Amino acid sequence: MKTITLKAFKKLNPCWLKSDEKSSKLEEIGSRKERWSAIDILELPKEEVSAEDRLWSARWLIDDKIMHEFACRCAEEALKLVESPDPRSVAAIAAKRAWLRGEINDEQLAAARAAARDAAQAAARAAARDAAQAAARDAAWDAAQAAARAAAWDAAWDAAWDAARENQIRLLLELLKNID
């Protein structure tokens, strides 16, 4: 498994290191070990390093083939949230895995990806239409209710985003630990 030193990691120039607080935190965390693996990074406590920063940092140490499989697993997790996923999206995941095994070529993979993109765009249009209808209904609410709703939505969105990233870390750790 690939590893990285703190000095080499800094050369990747992560944008979040521009914060003095995060830069100091990296120095403290980085001093704990001479070399870090992707698993070491992903297993850092969420109270110390955000899930997004752990995923970005570990990515540099993981082979592309593993990252493609990770993307498939994340897509499958996302499709679990959909009552009736579009078959084109499911087929795109299967095509990606077939491509990884060398069973289909780049053009066939691109066709599956395009079909999945069409499915996603159709779903996005439907969601936008539903959101527009909801917005029209909500226009009658007064400003105080709208602000409270917005604050609640922001908090819920942040919590959902954090939970999704932590789940992605769980998936990636499972994948990495089963490879070694």
Q: What is the pLDDT of residues 145-170, one digit of tens each?
A: 455 555 555 555 666 677 888 989 99
Q: Are 155 and 24 a contacting pair, CB within 8 Å?
A: no
Residue 49 lies in a domain: yes
Looking up tokens 């078959």 gives 87
Domains contained in the chain, number: 2
- Residue 150 covered by a domain: no
Residue 121 DSSP one-character state: H
Residue 85 tokens read as: 């996923």
Q: Which residues pair with residue 37 across a beta bridge? A: 3
Q: Do both 98 and 134 map to the same domain?
A: yes
Q: What average pLDDT score do residues 55-79 get? A: 92
Do 136 and 72 fall within a single domain? yes
Is pTM beyond 0.85? Reply is: no
Quote the domain boundaries for residue 126. 64-142+162-179
Q: How much is the average pLDDT of 45-67? A: 94
Asked whether residue 39 falls in the same domain as residue 70, the answer is no
**Last residue of one domain, picked from the residues 15, 40, 59:** 59
